[in-house]
Amino acid sequence: MAQMTVQVVTPDGLKYDHHASFIHAVTKDGQIGILPGHINLVAPLEVDELKVRRVDDESHVDWIAVNGGIIEVKDDFITIVANSAERDRDIDVSRAERAKQRTERVLEEATKSDRNVDVQRAQVALRRALNRINVGTKIR
């Protein structure tokens, strides 16, 4: 069976390292599906989920919350360099929910006060919290 090696690296180190038969990611230009033999590419990533179908079992899927970064595909070796990343099993959903609630309050205050920089930061933080919640609540 054809396979790829997938590594997710953050400033904290290697977060994921497995073989895969399929990867789904969301880039700044849209969604991308990667199979073995994919052309080489480099693309910036959105704050979104990464789906990795493992080679050991067709139904074995790993979900990873990726908070921006880049993806590089080169000769069936996929490297994702992300600002931060968490596997679904490592996400504390209640903590992510609390972060979402805090961020929504900050966003509301910043919007009322017309503080554009604070609004933009809060919107990014909210996207990250929602991404973590989404990945952390995936049905396994």
DSSP for 29-88, written as a single string = TEEEEE-TTPPPEEEEEEEEEEEEEESS-TT-EEEEEEEEEEEEEETTEEEEEES-EEEG
pTM of the predicted protein model: 0.86
118: confidence class by pLDDT, cuts 50, 70, 90: confident
pLDDT score of 35: 96
Domain range summary for the chain, segments of one domain joined by +: 2-87, 91-135
Superfamily of domain 2-87: F0F1 ATP synthase delta/epsilon subunit, N-terminal (2.60.15.10)
Higher-scoring residue by pLDDT: 139, 24: 24
Is 108:126 a contact under the CB 8 Å cutoff?
Answer: no
Give percent of the chain above pLDDT 90. Answer: 63
Q: Which of 119, 86, 80, 122 is nearest to 101 (CA)?
A: 122
CA distances from 37 to 48, 86, 126, 129, 137 (A): 24, 27, 36, 34, 32
Q: Mean per-residue pLDDT for 111-140?
A: 83
19-76: pLDDT as tens digits: 999 999 999 999 999 999 999 999 999 999 999 999 988 789 999 999 999 999 999 9
Residue 140 has pLDDT above 80, yes or no: no
pLDDT score of 139: 63
78: confidence class by pLDDT, cuts 50, 70, 90: very high
Residue 100 has pLDDT above 80, yes or no: yes
Instruction: Name the packing angle between helices 116-136 and 93-112 (round to 10°).
Output: 160
Start-to-end CA span in the chain (Å): 24
pLDDT score of 115: 77
